[in-house]
Structure 1
Amino acid sequence: MYVDQHVYGDIPLAGPGYLDDPARWLPVRDWEPSEAGVHRTYTYRDGPALPPYVPRDMDVILRALLREALDRGGFVCLVGEGAAGATRAAFEAVRTEAADRRVLAPRAPSHLALLTDRPRPPVSRAPVIWLDDLERFLVPDGLCVEVLGELVRARFPVVATLDIQSYEALTASRGRVLYRLLHDSRGARVLNYAPPIRLARRWTPSELARARLSEDRRVREATRYVRAPVAEYLAAGPALRDRWESGWRAGGTRAAPLSSRPPSTSPVPDSPARIRVNSSSTSTGSTSSTAAVTGWTWWPRRARRTL
């Protein structure tokens, strides 16, 4: 059973067994960022897989709302652009404020409704329900405002992240018609349950100041590129680096270092002047400045879309 049998009795319940066995729910203290959905970043030989978390300005509000949800149940939703750092911020908030709890990430949208049929746990033992990429659960037989209300009344803290494009499509009066039809307007009602917290893509001066003091050189390097948001730069690092070092071909154009030395381990160059573009349509290897600029600007745009 979900809780002690001598208290709640041995009542057979339908559904996947993991919902009734808290031993199969991961303790928050053992929860890994990759299991939560946090983007990986490029690594150095002498550094950890992820850089230390740099506090964001909205952390104060996020963690205050999370504490309220832990005390009496609630819904906390963090909205931001892809690779803006929303999942990492929510993960760090849960790991700090709910270190003595367990985390339950539903394996299917329909499992959320099954949770409402389980005996209510003591509030101090209720697991954190983790819904990264909330739009995945806003489907028929998935999360709706009625199920969310029952979970909150059962004292479950529900923590979700949502990308800004899905949020705008669900809440805008003239959102994408097909998207709204597929989700049966349930998303707009769920988001109306509690005001979401917005995470800006661009870092504030105070956030950048904290990042510049980081002990991790990846974070310090990211602050040098004013045009690239820090979290997005870190998240896009692996994809960009893999393509840069392998000379990945795209649309008949390949970018390669000017020199013949081994691939550099420094951040990807920020100027088209530092790359050479070889056209597959010519045998002379001539360089076109227009092709260089086109090939270079395609890279970060394409990489961001894959994250």
Structure 2
Amino acid sequence: MAGAQGGDDARELFAARLTELLNASGLTQERAAAKVNQRSPAGRKVPPRITGRLISSWKCGHHLPSRQTAMLLVRVLIDHMRNRGASPDSVSAGLLDEAAWRAWWRAADATPAVDGRTETRNVVGRPIGDTAPLALDVHPAIDVGDARLPTLPPYVRREHDEELRRLVASAGSSSAMAVLVGDSSTGKTRALWEAVQELPEDWLLWQPSTPTPPRALLDGLTTSAIGPRTVLWLDELKYYLGGPLGEQIAAALREFLHDSVRGPVLVLGTLWRKDLQRLRQVPSGWDDPHHEARRLLDPDRILPVPEHFSADEADRAAATADSRLTLAFEASGGRITQFLAGVPALRRSYELAPATARAVLDAAIDIRRFGLGPDLPAALLEEAAFELLDDVTRSTLRPAWIAEALDCTSTPCRGAPARWCPLVPGHRATASPTSSSRKAAGPAPRWFRPGPHGRSSGAMPMPTVSPGSGMKHTRVACSVKPHSVTRRPSGQVIGGRPGRLPACWKQRAGSSRPSVGTGGAPKPERTRTPTPGSPG
């Protein structure tokens, strides 16, 4: 047995070595489990609820622990033996060598299960301890430049988490399903990730993938590929239930949840509110495209996730030592998760935006630093952005380039408001409607107001020189014509702070071209040029 490190005996070898190591340590299974639960691997969570009974199943070869858990248990036992004075010469070869244990585990993991001793090699899924949150589409958090911080900030439990965890705790006895419903970046996927960490070690997690997620899920539900104690990870459930295979998947899921032979399983999903409404809508006629989906999405399986943190939840977030949560608490107005996920997305969208959209954002920041705003007219943004484009880009501009650029910069990202919110005549600043909704609403907005996260923690690039210095900033300021910066929609004249406006604007004070009014066609009016000391 000792020499069998591959083939069908690899699992038996691992189980035998583990039994030998545990016996040599002098620890009971329960005491060994307690020591494992007390030790935290560097940068990772302790696998939840390791028990003596679970260690017994590994010794008997009924299950193979995950690599992380196996090496943690081995390390605990080896350290205990070394503290008692054990040496490599006093035990079997390799028993106190972690490299040997890693090789034994890899050989066992690569060996298919036989005689039904373990279902973990015959069915889909991976041990929960071997999964990573970002690989399961948990949004990365904002980067504040502190390399000491972990990938994700500390989790702040909220009201919906309590009900979710009660459901997860009951999954060991019968199959269950929970769908978290909320708008973009409200923390739905992170809540599911935190909840499954409390499942026993022998649970698997499966996220369908190939050939397509819907097809993989349907195949798994209609075959024996999904074994007991498996979490079905169905983030963005609309892609499974709203497509061509949606009704078949919904019917198969309902049947699967009631199959006591194949359970227990835990089905976890997320949905946006608008998608839940579409899937649960009762048709007025005979055609019912989402009948099975509506039956699956029973209200008892739906857990709503609020957009805003409650006062108590926000206080607990601010009380953590993580600077990302502190920043989100101060800047988000209670939309903490949207800030954490949305600001990095805003920055990334800037990096991937067309040159014209980047020019609009760069010009807007320069103009704001000269003391204008906060509301800026589209005509001003157009003129300033044009000056920042190179000759090649200018020669390829289409007539609608500024409309497309402004539309790009006024698109929300992961629940965070856009950098620029359009001001439609007669309305307040809106949450960045889509192009189609703007056409339906009437004329295109002439004015734009910066969003709340427009300059938060790297969401937009920051100029590296002060106002009034540097060719880029002088070029932008001197390109702007006074008729483009006269009045806001409210009628208030835009002015600059004393000493902030460049002299080239004063030289253009005699321009009498029409200004932008509150709506409709431009109307002639006497232009007031921003001067030092004018109201802002």
Equivalent of 2:122 in 2, 5, 21: 21
Shift of the 228–55 alpha-carbon distance from structure 1 to 2, 3 Å rule, reads closer
Pairing of 1:39-78 with structure 2 (within 5 A): 39-43=139-143, 44=145, 45-78=147-180
- Work out the CA distance in 2 between the residues paired with 1:65 and 1:52: 22
Asked if the contact 1:78–1:162 (Cα under 8 Å) also holds between the matched residues in 2, the reply is yes
Which residue pairs with 1:104 in the alignment?
206
Asked if the contact 1:129–1:158 (Cα under 8 Å) also holds between the matched residues in 2, the reply is yes
Query: What is the letter of the counterpart of residue 21 of structure 1?
Result: N
- Work out the CA distance in 1 between the residues paired with 2:283 and 2:292: 16
Q: After alignment, is 127-136 or 188-197 more displaced?
A: 188-197
| Alignment gaps of 5+ in structure 1 | 9-18, 262-270, 286-294
Query: What is the letter of the counterpart of residue 169 of structure 2?
Result: R
Query: What is the letter of the counterpart of residue 232 of structure 2?
Result: I
Shift of the 159–47 alpha-carbon distance from structure 1 to 2, 3 Å rule, reads same
SS of the aligned residue for 2:309 comes to coil
- Work out the CA distance in 2 between the residues paired with 1:236 and 1:246: 15
- Work out the CA distance in 2 between the residues paired with 1:4 and 1:166: 41
Q: Does 1:214 align with 2:323?
A: no
Give the TM-score normalised by the residue count of structure 1.
Answer: 0.72
Structure (1 or 2) with the larger CA radius of gyration: 2
Which residue pairs with 1:302 in the alignment?
412
Query: What is the letter of the counterpart of residue 27 of structure 1?
Result: P
Which residue pairs with 2:252 in the alignment?
147
Asked if the contact 1:69–1:158 (Cα under 8 Å) also holds between the matched residues in 2, the reply is no
- Work out the CA distance in 1 between the residues paired with 2:158 and 2:280: 25
SS of the aligned residue for 2:239 comes to helix
SS of the aligned residue for 1:169 comes to helix
Equivalent of 1:165 in 274, 281, 290: 274
- Work out the CA distance in 1 between the residues paired with 2:299 and 2:222: 17
SS of the aligned residue for 2:186 comes to coil
Provide the aligned C-alpha RMSD in A.
4.1
Aligned residues: 272
After superposition, the C-alpha distances for 1:136-172 in whole angstroms (9 at most, x for unaligned) are 1113335544311232122121111111110111223
- Work out the CA distance in 1 between the residues paired with 2:185 and 2:318: 20
Asked if the contact 1:252–1:279 (Cα under 8 Å) also holds between the matched residues in 2, the reply is no
Q: After alignment, is 191-200 or 297-306 more displaced?
A: 297-306
Asked if the contact 1:63–1:97 (Cα under 8 Å) also holds between the matched residues in 2, the reply is no
Pairing of 1:58-207 with structure 2 (within 5 A): 58-107=160-209, 108-114=213-219, 115-118=221-224, 121=227, 125-138=228-241, 139-142=243-246, 144-152=249-257, 153=259, 154-155=262-263, 156-173=265-282, 184-192=290-298, 194-207=300-313
Shift of the 281–225 alpha-carbon distance from structure 1 to 2, 3 Å rule, reads same
| Alignment gaps of 5+ in structure 2 | 1-111, 389-404, 418-536
- Work out the CA distance in 1 between the residues paired with 2:186 and 2:328: 13
Between Structure 1 and Structure 2, the one with more strand by share is 1
